[in-house]
Each structure stands twice: as structure tokens, then as C-alpha cells.
Amino acid sequence: MGGYYIGIGRKARRVYGFDEMALVPGNKTIDPQDVDIGWHIGKLPFKIPIFAAAMDGVVDVNFAIEMGRLGGIAVLNLGGIQTRYENPHKVIEEIVHSSPKEAVEIMQKIYREPIKKELIKKRITQIKEANAPAVVSCIPQQAKEFAPIVQEAGADIFVVQATVATAKYLSSKREALDFKKLCEDTSIPVIAGNCVTYKSAYELMETGIDAILVGVGPGAACTTREVLGVGVPQVTATIDVAAARDDYLKHSGRYVSIITDGGMRTGGDICKALASGTDAVMIGSAFARAKEAPGKGYHWGMATSDENLPRGARVYVGTTGTLKEILYGPARLDDGSQNLTWAIKTSMSYCGVSSIKKMHEIEMVIAPTIKSEGKFFQEIQRAAKEK
Amino acid sequence: MGGYYIGIGRKARRVYGFDEMALVPGNKTIDPQDVDIGWHIGKLPFKIPIFAAAMDGVVDVNFAIEMGRLGGIAVLNLGGIQTRYENPHKVIEEIVHSSPKEAVEIMQKIYREPIKKELIKKRITQIKEANAPAVVSCIPQQAKEFAPIVQEAGADIFVVQATVATAKYLSSKREALDFKKLCEDTSIPVIAGNCVTYKSAYELMETGIDAILVGVGPGAACTTREVLGVGVPQVTATIDVAAARDDYLKHSGRYVSIITDGGMRTGGDICKALASGTDAVMIGSAFARAKEAPGKGYHWGMATSDENLPRGARVYVGTTGTLKEILYGPARLDDGSQNLTWAIKTSMSYCGVSSIKKMHEIEMVIAPTIKSEGKFFQEIQRAAKEK
Amino acid sequence: MGGYYIGIGRKARRVYGFDEMALVPGNKTIDPQDVDIGWHIGKLPFKIPIFAAAMDGVVDVNFAIEMGRLGGIAVLNLGGIQTRYENPHKVIEEIVHSSPKEAVEIMQKIYREPIKKELIKKRITQIKEANAPAVVSCIPQQAKEFAPIVQEAGADIFVVQATVATAKYLSSKREALDFKKLCEDTSIPVIAGNCVTYKSAYELMETGIDAILVGVGPGAACTTREVLGVGVPQVTATIDVAAARDDYLKHSGRYVSIITDGGMRTGGDICKALASGTDAVMIGSAFARAKEAPGKGYHWGMATSDENLPRGARVYVGTTGTLKEILYGPARLDDGSQNLTWAIKTSMSYCGVSSIKKMHEIEMVIAPTIKSEGKFFQEIQRAAKEK
Amino acid sequence: MGGYYIGIGRKARRVYGFDEMALVPGNKTIDPQDVDIGWHIGKLPFKIPIFAAAMDGVVDVNFAIEMGRLGGIAVLNLGGIQTRYENPHKVIEEIVHSSPKEAVEIMQKIYREPIKKELIKKRITQIKEANAPAVVSCIPQQAKEFAPIVQEAGADIFVVQATVATAKYLSSKREALDFKKLCEDTSIPVIAGNCVTYKSAYELMETGIDAILVGVGPGAACTTREVLGVGVPQVTATIDVAAARDDYLKHSGRYVSIITDGGMRTGGDICKALASGTDAVMIGSAFARAKEAPGKGYHWGMATSDENLPRGARVYVGTTGTLKEILYGPARLDDGSQNLTWAIKTSMSYCGVSSIKKMHEIEMVIAPTIKSEGKFFQEIQRAAKEK
């Protein structure tokens, strides 16, 4: 597995993120219209491999409905504003209009309001009544309590998500979530995460979960790596978890889909995640730019409001188009943030593959895009002159 | 071939671009006036190894004539404004005067106008009447239809160019271009591209093409790598395709020249492309800065106007000199963008080689030019103080 | 030990700092409340592994008292303003209000005032009277003279600190400090440093010191590496000195604690130092941001005022919270500079370890966080648009 | 010798510059006052290992006299303004007051004025009359003609300098300089350069030269690498040429000193050059900041005025102190640009060596100082807030 000496008697792996990698075109090319980007969780098929992340600036009931209508999946956060407030819009307004300086404190206050079980039920019902898939998430600490409510309300998928989730959680003070029992007791698919290593992914798969979220520390609205030092870049994390998935499939006969979550801003990043072996991706900031996003161009992570240790800033990403334009175009921006499905199809067509499974096997190269500073300065000057 | 682990069970090559490489001076030096920078495609000889790229902000009829007069080659894009509009200048004005925000949409609208066959003929005739070589390009989808028109009109070279071109294109809906048949049916030299790998280059050479374009994702006015994740930096791409050229020559006896296309902004970059094994280079942004360029200091790529997935911005590069100054000096700028032929000759003289073939063999070193940030900040501050 | 050719016949090790490394989450996770971050010097136990550095903008008598009250250790510099001036506040005001241009010269003048022995005694007494631990530092040249005064005044720990400290100092003109004799003559624990290599650390441990400071050239307020070229990044330096500590323990049976000093700005950096094998950390800039810091948001190093060769600028870091908030939260910033103890506990909980000794063994990966410049520019533009 | 694949069948060495390297402190330390920084060319001894570069913004007659008085060496450019104009100050004023846009063209015009042999004589006489060493330089093309004039006028050292100098120069049109004959015909020491490779250095040493200049493409006022692609970073270049020096000494018994020229801005860089094996350094920009420098804070290279291919900008570096302060302090800046001799002595003292010969053998490490961008942005914001 390689590894480099980082000091006397100590080696470390070199790991890789999206910005250092590039995809190599294939020896044949394929008509993008012949490329299939469908995938599945267990027997549940999906038309496009894209989730909108369970973030309060991205997904509310309306967004989830529109996303479902377009063939994608939006995850509603059960631990966020939607289930704490009857009227979430007013609360989000307050976040959006706070100054950068006071934003963290205001959010800490807002998220102190307790979660209401009747609102969990109500939000799921609202989504289902519009015939959209209801996919909801909570943290492991609340999973046991929320699981029956969620099922009863008719949700389609239950996501249990923590910064780092493992099959073993040790605490002298509180009971740990038993993922195995949760899966046995839950009739709808369970997605769990996040994880980044082979072993912890394999052990989570053994508990019976249906899909696994990959990603610790890479997201745009998250400073986990800065604050805690913890994180593994997404290309290596995805490859390692994909290796666990393939080995687990060999041993168990069960295919647990993996979903790379966080750190992707462009179609190019999504394509690299697929080439790293993921079945689908979960995205926050790209969808925070949708007209339908409740955050009105603002974006913040689930840990931004942490009472003790806020991680992740409120980021302004702007509103750049409709959700439909972001997913299906036509793109009006050239930065890779719009028409994501066509970007995936085009990229796969250049790589000469017609399905996501085959995309898992294409060649990647290590190709950092750092420019010499001579050019760096020229570019800054040039940008300044642009009229 | 080396390769580094990027995750469990997965290796990737480290590939290189211009900014990381430098040329090593030779153990002898040569008078630059004794250096020969000529090359050839088949039996067609050229005095200088430089093409102007088929971009609408760079090449129009007048530019092609002036470039020809100076011994270089300018490629006229048959899928651009010149063949869609009787009066292209007016249309280019519209692009130049659009705001950065609306530029992509305006271009998408402009490129919706159909291509006129009579304009293809007219543009070629205009160039030939001025005794300049007429080199024209189109995409593979139009090659079969345009080839007879182009030949009849008297063009000298036919370029068939796509973001990624391969000998095999699979589509359930439309007929793929048969490169072999095209080459058999076309009496003038055919240049095809772009490609970046040994195998796809070798297979394209086997179809009978006369020269091959190298480069996916590196150009200044192109965001293919950002939007699609696809791309290989030019030093490695050129070395790999040159290896295919040399092997193909050994097996077939036929030398298919290679032309590195995109990503070169300075004389230094061109010299590195030559040292990587290319026979000639194709350049956009350096020529967009010519007084003769129709874009008046603006520059955009062929994919900028893509209806579904625009890739590549309209970049302001400024107008800095005449085409003659850019090619033959005297340079009035010190940034490596002028007197390109003398830069090549001087560089070769320092490297101790007198022909492009010998330049293919000189030593390169991996020498990134990243500065420590201490110095980086000092430089920014210093720049601010400069009067 | 690896090593790369840097020229003919010459190899060099690649060494690593905090910014290139990341911590890998564990296969189990632990309740942060079950994590113990205590450690010890000899038999002296400490609740938290954090020292405030002996810098005049950070530690005065009041700061030391408050830090002691909170379970941490603040080191008072005996060669600084506190022992040169009866009224240090007034002098610090002068530094704070000097313009960036004149700051170095004003500091050089201020530090020309002689050290007063009665002030050494007085400062220690002031701290002890408030029931806080008195930890004081001086340079090797003054250690022999100050040691008896310091002990008599009741100090708890004596720190002898130079940019580079070795067991052997050669001079034709003045007597070198005999660390062995100093340790024998001193009844309180002696901490010595700084060093960065296995051998010099091992030799210092053999003199009988109780703890060792690791770090040459990495601090925020220090330009040693710029001015002198000397320095080793902290991850490698800590791993190497930890190897010396472990080997020395094996041979001598004595555990000499190591304290990584300098270059850590966030909780994440501290966690990486612990994962590299340190027992505790010494921090300057994070504490310079405390309301209790005498520097009022300004921060400067011990070499900034060097008469001949000033190294290190006066840096403005701002005042962002109380010392209590910095150590124990709640954090009101998301940049990793507040609630450091909880950050350490949370990080250890994600890494699945419950003690600092176990944190020494977790997996680190090499994971530079360099972004592609496309994204870099987007971020700058986005930042500019943030309202 | 290592080497990495950069493409199919092609390897390249990784080479290193100052910014990536750091010096490792020694296991003993030495009193800086016991450190000897003297060196020699043949039997000629020098007190300090520093030359001021033959650049028109740095060295004129007065500067050379003051530099000599302080124990250093300043090289007067015989191909520059001093020998083209009776009154050089007036001409330099013109350069200094030109706008950035017109600077290159104005310099091209100024350097078109012919060199006057009587001015060569006059400048040397002026320096000698002040009892300072007269060290003068010209390009190889003029060496044969100027050598007798220079000797007759009483110069102490003759420097023959080109961007790239080799023992073999091939030209169909003009006679090449015969270095061997030049050395035989010249009674004063001859320094030649620049070169960066083992073989070309060895061959130059065989011609009988007394010292050799190392450096192609690294200087602050030089864009050779940008414009031509040619250059080798100074750490590797110095190590390689030092290897040639040591091997040549073994075979011939003659020690040809090497002088690293260009790319050093701080004391730290100079120390790294010494650790790479150089005997002395030649510096431009640090001296351009002296009050005595004729450029009044402006700095430009010898190739900036090149008629055909200007390389290197006029850079504003500011005036920060006297030559005495730059060489011997006291430093009033903390950026490593002042009190260079004390910086060298201090660095050597930390590395535990007392002579330049021993400095050649100390350990260096590869330690890039790139920060994570999180911190990068914080620093920019912090800088903005500094009052």
C-alpha cells in the first residue's frame, strides 16, 4: 500500500482529493445519449446518481418535492429548522440576514429550540402528498426514537448520519445506537454514515445497512478538518470504501451502495467521485445555489450551529439558476455547476463508458493544477483589467 | 511506468504539465542563428512550428492571410462565426461588448445560426486569393459533409477536431465518422484530434491521418477539466503521443507529425512542448493578443457556446502587439508572449540543439516554481508599492 | 528512512508540517466525555496538555493566574518586559501603538532596558500568592544566574529556552551552560529546548531535564526559517523527538515528556501534534487572542527585538474571546481557535482513543489541502460578493 | 540518481530550489562569534562570501568602492550604462522615472548606445584610486577584446558571464570565445559562468578558470525560465556543480571556487546555498535595496534590455537601509534582508559548524512551506485588519 516516512519509524499514506486528480479519455468514445446514469439501493432504482444533502439552507419540503419530480433525491434534516419551527422560512430569514460576525451565535440560539415530533410527521406527510419520495435524516442519538415515527409517516428512506459513524460507539454515560437492531426493526432502506475507511465501512455494512455515506471533513460548509484535524480526502476515501463494498459483496452476496458526500462543487468533481467507485453523490453547495433552495443563496453545515464547537461557516454561494437547470440544463454558467447530469453523461462518453459500474474502472491520473506564480500574477492582473 | 497508490488496490500515474517542468541547458551552446525550426507534415514543409488555433476570436480571413504571409499557419473554424454570418465582424463586436454575466448566453444565441455552405467556400477562396495557405477545421459530425466542399474550394489542409477524438465512436442514433474512409477520400492532408493517450493516438494514426492534435483540457479558454473532470496535462500527453508516433513509424514506415494544442502561453511553454516530443504547437491566447485578431483582445473557446454545457469563459487577454511582433519580434514585453520564434531558437541554442528533432531528446527536470508564502506576501506588498 | 536525491550524491529527507497531514477516524468512536486529556511531567500531573508560551504579548502575571485557575500552564518570560519594567503595561501600550514600520526599532529600544532581579522575584511571588503555578523561563546564558532566584521565590517549573538548544555549546569567549549541573542543582522540574532532532533531544534528555520543547522555526510570530534558513516542520520534528523519548525511556527507565512548541493555530493542529507523539503543546498566537492577554490582540516573538538580527514580526491577531472560552468554550468562532480542550476530546473521540498515550498511535495521512486554482479564484470572487 | 516517469519511456529528475529546503540544526551549537565565513579564489582571500551582482541598478563606481571598503566584492558591468555613458546617473534617472509600460522600450533604447573603451578604463581607475578591488564583467563575445584593456587598467578580477556559458560554443558566423586561451592570456583571476550542470561546469573548469558562477533562470529580475523554459533551481544546480568542483579537485589538484548567482533574497537563502556546497554567493535584489545603489530602489537584469527578447522586468524593491546595515546590521527589518553576515554566522552556529567548508556538509531537509488555504485566507483577512 505504499506509504512515506514522515518521521523516524513512522509512515503515512499519501491520500488524494478531487483537485489533484483528472480522468483520462478513453480509446473509444460514446454518444452521451447512450450513457445510462441510473443506479439502485437494494432493489430501489434511481434515474440519476445525485442526492441533495440534509442541510437547512438546501432542503425544505418544497425543494424535496421539486427534486423528487426531477428524478433526484433530497434529504430532509429531521434535526434542523424544519422540525423545530412551525414556520421555518421566518427562521431562515433571520440566519440569512445576520451579519457574518453574529451568524454563528444566532444559529446556536436558533438550534436550541427543541425538535417537535408532530413536525417530523407533518413534513414527511407534506412531501408524500406531493407524490415525491420522502427521504429523511437524523443523528445516531435520535435514530432509535425517530425510526418508528418516520416509518409510520410513510418515509421512503431513513438516513442516520454523524460526522463519523462506526458500528462500535463506546460511552460510559449513554446507550449507543445498535445499527443492527435498527436495520432489523426498520422496513424501509437505511443509509448510514459518514465513514472514510475500509474497516469501519465494512463493519457498518455488516450491520445490515442498505447504503453508506462516504466523507469526513471535505465539505464546503464544514471546517471539521481545520477544527479537529480529522479528515480524509474524497478520492482515496471513496476508493477505500468501494473496496470494502466489493469485498463485502463477495463474502455476503449483498451489494451495499456507496454515496460520496461532500466536497464536490462541479460536474468534474462528481465524475471523479464516480471514477473512484461511488454509486452516487450527495451534494450541498451546488444545490444551495438553486432558486428553490430555502437558504436564498446562503449555505451552512449541520455542525455550524454546534453548541460547544461550531464547525463550518455560513457561506454565501449566490442563487444562479433553477433546480432543473442545475440538474438538466441548459447551463448558463461555464463553471461546472449547472446541467450536472449532462456533464456526467458527457464525461462518461469521453471516457468511453456507458454505465456507472464501468465508470468505476476508468483510468485516473494524478495531475495537480497548480500554476507557476508568474502566470498566477499575470492572471490576477488580467482579471483586474477585464471590463 | 511507475504509478502511486491512490487508494486500496488502485494506482494512478503522476502526470505533468508545463508549469512543473524546466529545460536543462546543454553542455555545448549554439548560435541561435544556426538553429533550424522547420518541420513538415508528410512532404509539406513548414518554416515555423506554430499554428494559430481555430478560434473565432483569433482567426478570421485577414488573420489567416497575414499568418500565411509570415510563414505560419492559421486554422479557420468552419463551425464558427465566419461561416454562419456574412458579416462576422458585427457579430464579434456583440460578443466583445457583452457583459461578463451575459456573455455565455449571448454566445449560445449567436452560435445557433446555421452554417452556410456558400460561406465555407467563400472564406477559403478569400484566403487562397491572397496566396496564403487555407487550413480549415470542423467537428467529426460535419467532416463527411464538408470534406468535398473544402477540397473543391482549394483548401490546403483539413482539420477534424473534437474535444476528444477516437478511431472508434459508438452511437445508437447516428453514424460515426469513418476516419479511414475520410482519409482515403481526401486528397489534401488531414489533421485529426484531440487525443492524449498512446493507444488512441496510435489507432488514429492507423486510420491514415497525416498529423494529430494533442491536448484535452489544458487551454486557457477552456474549462473541460473543471466541468467534466477530463484532461491530461500537456507534457505527459505529448510524451505519450510522441511514443505512439515513434512506434507507429517503426511499424508502418510513416511519420505522423504531432501538434500539441492548448495550454501554452509563453515561449517557454512552447519550448517545453518541443522538448516533450511535439513537432509543432497550436496556440490560441498568445495570438488573441495580436492587433490582427478579430476578437480585439477577447478570447473564447469552441466549447464556450455549447448549447447544453458551455465550457470555457470569454477571457480578456488584451491587445499587445502585431502578429509580426508576436512571431518575430522585436518583443516589447518581457513575459514571453512575443518574438516566439526567436525564443524557440534561443532556448534551443542554450540547450545545444540545432533542430526540432534533436530538441525532442534534451533533458527536462521536474522543477515546480512555487514560492514560500513569506515571499509570496512580500511580493504582493511590493507590487502594491510599485509606482 | 527514505530520502530523495536533491542533487548528485546528496539526499534529503522529506519532512512534514501540520498543514499537509490529516487524522484518520477510528473504527470505533468514543464519547468525548470519556476521553482523558491529562498528562504529567515526572510525577507532576496536569489536567490539560496546553501551555501558554513565554511571550510578552501573551503572558503576564494576571494571565498566568487565570491560566492556572483554569488548569493550564502559562510560562512567564524572565527575559522580557515583565522583569525589565516595574510597570509593564505602559511599555506594552507603546509597542501596541507603534506603526508597523517603526515596531521593530521601538521593540529593540524597549528590550535594551536591563533585567531586574527583584522583579523576577516579585512576579513569581505575585503568581504564587494567587495560588497559581509559577512557571518561568529564561535563555541558557542566564540560567545559571537565575536558577537560585527562581527557586527561592517559589517557582514550580524552570524553563530554559533558546532558538536551538543542545547539550554541547562551544564558545571561545564565554562559559557554556552545563545542563547536567543545572538539573542537579535545581530541585524543581527543568524544561529545556528547543530542539528538533533525535540526537540532540536524546543528549538533552541525558543531562537530566524533565521535559523537552520541540520546535525550531515554525511559529506564527517567528521568521527564523526565513532569516536563517533553519527549521524543521513540527510533525516530523515531534515524531523524531518522540522516538528519542521512547528510546531513552527504554534505556534509562525515565520518561521525559515532550512539548511541541510553535506553529499550532487551531485545535486541529494541536490534535496533529498529539498524534505525532507529543505529550503537550505550547501555544502563542491562539492565546494572544484572549481578552486576558496583555498584548491587546498583538503578538510578537522573543526574537522580534533581537538587537542584531530581529526575527519575527509583531502580528495583529485580534481579541476574540476570554481565556476560558479559548480553553473550554463555548466557541463563538468556527475557525478552530476556541474551546481547544473540547476540540481535542472530540477529535480523540472520532479517532477512537481515550488517552493521549493512545493518541500517539493513531493513523495520520498525507493530505495537502491545496485547491485547484479554478476554485481558488471562484472563492476569492465569492468572498468579494459576500454581503 | 532517482528520476520519475513523466511519460512513456521518459524520466526526469526532481530538482530543488531554496523555498522547498530547510537546514537542520546541529547536535552541537557554536558561538556565532567563533564562526569564520572567509573563503578564497585561488590564493586570493575574502572576508565575506558575498558578491554584488553586475547589474546597473546595483553597482556603480561609488557602490563598488563602498562594498570594497566593507570587505565584500561588487562586480561592475562593462556592458552596461557605466561604460556607455559619461554621466550614467542621468540615464538611470530616466529608467527609474519611466512608467512600467514604457520601461522595457526605454531600456532597449538606452542600451543601444555603444560601449566606450575609454569609459571601461576610467571606471576601473576610479575604483582603484579609492583603494577598492576592481572586479569587472563582460559577455563572452567581448571578452577577447576587453581583457587587455581591463588588465592594463589594473582590474583585480575579470568576470565573463552569459546566461548560459559552456566550454564549447558553435557558430557558423562568428568566432567562439576560447576560454582556455583567455585564461592563459590573462594574469588576473577569471570567473566564468553561468552554468548549472556537472558536465558543463567540469568542462569550464578544465579551461583554467579560477571560479565559476552557478545559476540559470532563478533571479528576481530575470524571466529566462518563463520566456525560454530554461533553468535549474539553485539548490540542485549548486550541489551538482559542487560535485564537479570536488571531482575536478581530485583529478587536477586545483580547487575552482563556485559562486551561486541569483535567486537569493534573504539570509536564509544564502545559508541554503552554502549548505548546498557553494563557496560564495552573488546577489542582486538585496543590494538594490541599499541607499548606495544607483537604481534608487529599482532593479533590473542584464537581459531586460535585450533588443530581440527582453527577459526580466524592472522590479521595484525599495530602499531599506545602508549597504553597511545590509551586510553588518543592525537589522531594522525582520524579513531576512539585512545583516546578512550575522545571519550566516548565526545560522552556521545553530547548525554547529564553524567554517564554510563544514557548512557544505550539514543536513538539509525537503520542507515546503505551503500553508493550507484555510489559513491562507485567514492570513489575508488578518492582514487587512492590521492597523
Per-residue pLDDT of A262-275, as tens digits, reads: 999 899 999 999 99
CA distance B24 to B365: 7
User: Which residues in chain C are closer than 8 Å to B374, comparing Cβ atoms?
Assistant: 223, 226
If interface means Cβ-Cβ distance under 8 Å, which residues of chain B face chain C? Answer: 223, 226, 372, 374
Q: With beta carbons under 8 A apart, name residues in chain B contacting A334.
A: 104, 223, 227, 304, 310-313
Residue B144's pLDDT is what?
Answer: 96
3-state secondary structure of C290: strand
Cβ atoms of residues B123 and B76 within 8 Å: yes
Q: B373 and D368: CB-CB below 8 Å?
A: no
Distance CA B92, CA C362 (A): 60
| D9 belongs to a structural domain | no
**d(C-alpha C54, C-alpha C135), whole Å:** 9
- ∠ CA C135-C136-C138 to the nearest 5 degrees? 155
pLDDT band at B385 (very low <50, low <70, confident <90, very high): very low
- Nearest alpha-carbon partner for A56 in A287, A374, A378: A287
pLDDT, position B302:
77
Out of D19, D174, D228, the one facing B346 most closely (by C-beta) is: D228
pLDDT digits (tens, 9 = 90+) for D284-334: 989 999 999 999 999 888 777 777 787 777 888 899 999 999 999 888 777
**Cα of C122 to nearest chain D Cα, Å:** 32
Burial status of residue A197 (CB atoms within 10 A of its CB: 0-12, 13-18, 19 or more): buried
| Chain C residues with CB-CB distance to B226 below 8 A | 372, 374
The nearest alpha carbon in chain A to B308 belongs to: A330
Take residue D197 and report the three cell numbers written for it. 550542470
Facing A271 at nearest CB: one of B108, B228, B232: B228
Q: Name C74's bridge partners.
A: C52
* Site from D16, D27, D236 to mutate, C interface, most C CB atoms within 10 angstroms: D27
Residues B171, A25: C-beta atoms closer than 8 Å: no
Residue A175: closest C-alpha in chain C: C31
pLDDT tens digit string along A228-287?
A: 999 999 999 999 999 999 999 999 999 999 999 999 989 999 999 999 999 999 999 899
Nearest CB among C333, C334, C350 relative to A230 is that of C350
Which set of grid coordinates corresponds to residue C144?
Answer: 545559571
How many beta-carbon pairs under 8 angstroms link A with B? 218
The amino acid occupying position C150 is: V
Q: Which grid cell is D229? A: 523554459
C-alpha cell at A33: 445519449
Choose among C239, C366, C371: nearest Cβ to A8: C239
Residue A247 phi/psi, 5-degree rounding, is -70, -40
Q: B interface mutation test: which of C4, C226, C365, C380 has the most B CBs within 10 A?
A: C226
Give the neighbours of chain D: at least 3 Cβ pairs within 8 Å: A, B, C
State the CB neighbour count (10 A cutoff) for residue D144: 16
* Domain range for D154: 16-385
Q: What percent of chain D has pLDDT over 70?
A: 94
Per-residue confidence (pLDDT) for residue A2, from 0 to 100: 67
Structure confidence at residue B368 (pLDDT): 83
Yes or no: say if C75 and C135 are a contact pair by the CB < 8 Å rule. Answer: yes
CATH number at residue D293: 3.20.20.70
Q: Using H for helix, E for strand and C for coil, what is the string for C116-127?
A: CHHHHHHHHHHH
* Residue ranges of chain D with per-residue pLDDT less than 70: 1-2, 219-222, 369-387
Tell me which of B4, B19, B27 to substitute to probe the interface with D (most D C-beta atoms closer than 10 Å): B27
* Structural contact between residues A255 and A187, judged by C-beta atoms closer than 8 angstroms: no
- Residue C24, burial from CB neighbour count under 10 angstroms (0-12, 13-18, 19+): buried
**pLDDT for B317:** 86
Provide the shortest C-alpha distance from residue B350 to chain D (in Å): 6
Smallest Cα distance from B228 to chain A, Å: 4
| Helix (H) / strand (E) containing D284 | none
D3 occurs within a structural domain: no
Nearest CB to A366: which of B13, B197, B231? B13
pLDDT band at A374 (very low <50, low <70, confident <90, very high): very low
| Distance between CA atoms of residues A231 and C23, nearest Å | 6
> 3-class DSSP state for residue C56?
coil
Q: How distant is the Cα of D24 from the closest Cα of chain A, in angstroms?
A: 14
Do D239 and C195 make contact, defined as CB atoms within 8 angstroms? no
Helix (H, G, I), strand (E, B) or coil at C248: helix
Any domain includes C11: no
Angle, CA of D59, D62 and D66, to the nearest 5°:
90
- Determine the residue type at D264: M
Structural domain total, chain C: 1
Give C120 or B315, the one with higher predicted confidence: C120
Out of C223, C226, C374, whose CB is closest to B226? C374
Residue B306: name the closest of B232, B229, B228 by CA: B228
The CA distance from C50 to C294, in Å, is: 19
Residue B150 counted as domain residue: yes
Bridge partners for C75 per DSSP:
C135
- Residues with Cβ within 8 Å of residue B24, at least 6 apart in sequence: B351, B362, B363, B364, B365, D196, D197, D230, D232
Q: What is the average per-residue pLDDT within B34-41?
A: 97
Q: Which residue of B has its CA nearest to A198?
A: B8
Is B108 a member of any domain? yes
Smallest CA–CA distance from A380 into chain B, residue: B380
Please tell me which of the candidates B5, B225, B228 has its beta carbon nearest to residue A2. B5
Amino acid A370: pLDDT: 52
Beta-strand pair C44-46/C157-161 = unpaired
DSSP string, B122-163: HHHHHHHHTT---EEEE-HHHHHHHHHHHHHTT-SEEEEE-S
Q: List the one residue out of D44, D58, D51, D40 whose CA is nearest residue D95.
A: D58
Interchain pair C334, A227: CB under 8 A:
yes
Q: Is residue C310 part of a domain?
A: yes
- The answer to whether residues D311 and D108 touch, using CB atoms and an 8 Å cutoff, is no
C-alpha count within 13 angstroms, C-beta hemisphere, residue C205:
30
In D108-267 the beta strands, taken as DSSP E runs, fall at 135-138, 157-161, 168-170, 190-195, 211-214, 257-261
Smallest CA–CA distance, residue C342 to chain D, in Å, is 21
The pLDDT, as a whole number, for residue C382 is 44
Going by the DSSP 8-state scheme, the letter that residue D232 receives in this structure is B
What is chain B's mean pLDDT, rounded? 91
Question: Is position D300 within any domain?
Answer: yes
Residue A176 binned pLDDT confidence (cut-offs 50, 70, 90): very high
C375 to chain D nearest CA, in Å?
11
> Which of B223, B226, B374 is the closest to C226 by Cβ?
B374
Kindly determine whether residue A29 and residue B166, on different chains, have CB atoms separated by under 8 Å.
Answer: yes
Kindly report the pTM of this predicted structure: 0.94
Nearest CA of chain C to the CA of D197: how many Å? 10
CB D225 within 8 A of CB B19: no
B45 belongs to a structural domain: yes
**Model confidence pLDDT, tens digit, residues B46-81:** 999 999 999 999 999 999 999 999 999 999 999 999
Rounded CA separation C242/C237 (Å): 8
Distance, C-alpha C251 to centroid of its chain: 27
Report which residue type is found at D217: G
Provide the number of CB pairs (under 8 Å) joining chain A to chain D. Answer: 6
Beta bridge partners of B16: none
In one letter, which amino acid is D274?
A: L
CA separation for the pair B351, A52 (Å, rounded): 55
Q: How far is the alpha carbon of B7 from chain C, nearest alpha carbon, in Å? A: 12
Contacts 24+ apart (CB under 8 A), B339-342: B339/B267, B339/D308, B339/D309, B340/B50, B340/B267, B340/B270, B340/B286, B341/B37, B341/B48, B341/B50, B342/B32, B342/D308, B342/D309
In B, minimum Cα distance to C378 occurs at B226
Residues 6+ apart with CB under 8 A from B178: none
Asked if B229's CB is within 8 angstroms of A268's CB, the reply is yes
C366 → closest Cβ in A4, A216, A308: A4
* Residue A42 in this model has a pLDDT that exceeds 60: yes
Q: What is the dihedral of CA D53, D54, D59, D61, to 10 degrees?
A: 130
Distance separating alpha carbons of residues B210 and B258, to the nearest angstrom? 9
Does the distance separating the beta carbons of D174 and B31 come in below 8 Å?
Answer: yes
Give the gap in angstroms from C-alpha C6 to the nearest C-alpha of chain B.
11
According to DSSP, residue B121 is labeled: H
- Does C166 sit within 8 Å of D27, measured CB to CB? yes
- The grid coordinates of residue A207 equal 450491520
pLDDT of residue D387: 33
pLDDT, tens only, B140-156: 999 999 999 999 999 99
Contact at CB, C25 and A236, closer than 8 angstroms: no
Minimal Cα–Cα distance from D220 to chain C, Å? Answer: 17
Out of B240, B269, B346, name the one closest to residue D7 (CB). B240
pLDDT (tens digit, 0 to 9) for every residue of chain C, 387 residues total?
569 999 999 999 999 999 899 999 999 999 999 999 999 998 999 999 999 999 999 999 999 999 999 999 999 999 999 999 999 999 999 998 988 878 888 888 999 999 999 999 999 999 999 999 999 999 999 999 999 999 999 999 999 999 999 999 999 998 999 999 999 999 999 999 999 999 999 999 999 999 999 999 876 555 788 889 999 999 999 999 999 999 999 999 999 999 999 999 899 999 999 999 999 999 998 999 999 999 999 988 877 777 778 777 788 889 999 999 999 988 877 788 889 999 999 999 999 999 999 999 999 999 986 544 444 444 444 444 443
* Torsions phi, psi for A285 (to 5 deg): -60, -35
pLDDT digits (tens, 9 = 90+) for B316-373: 889 999 999 999 988 877 788 889 999 999 999 999 999 999 999 999 999 986 544 4
Contact D268 C6 (CB under 8 A): no
Q: Where are the beta strands (DSSP E) in chain A?
A: 4-7, 10-14, 21-23, 28-30, 39-41, 44-46, 50-52, 73-77, 135-138, 157-161, 168-170, 190-195, 211-214, 257-261, 280-283, 298-299, 315-316, 364-366
User: Do residues A37 and A356 touch, judged by C-beta distance below 8 A?
Assistant: yes
Question: What three-state secondary structure class fits B195?
Answer: strand
